[in-house]
Amino acid sequence: MFQVTFSDQSLSVLNDLSQGDQLKLMDTLSSLSNTILKGKDSGIGKFYRGGKLFYRLRIDDFRIYFEKIDIALHCHFILPKNSLNDFIFR
| DSSP percent split of the chain into helix, strand, coil, nearest 5 | 35, 40, 25
Give CATH for domain 3-89.
Answer: 3.30.2310.20
Q: What is the pLDDT of residue 38?
A: 81
Q: What is the pLDDT of residue 43?
A: 77
Q: pTM here?
A: 0.86
Flag whether pLDDT at 53 surpasses 90: yes
Flag whether pLDDT at 41 surpasses 90: no
Of the candidates 65, 72, 57, 1, the one whose C-alpha atom is nearest the C-alpha of residue 33 is 1
Flag whether pLDDT at 18 surpasses 90: yes
Strands in 16-86 per DSSP E: 45-49, 52-59, 62-69, 72-80
Flag whether pLDDT at 31 surpasses 90: no
Radius of gyration from C-alpha coordinates of the chain: 12
Q: What is the pLDDT of residue 36?
A: 83
**Exposed/middle/buried for residue 57 (C-beta within 10 Å: 0-12, 13-18, 19+):** buried
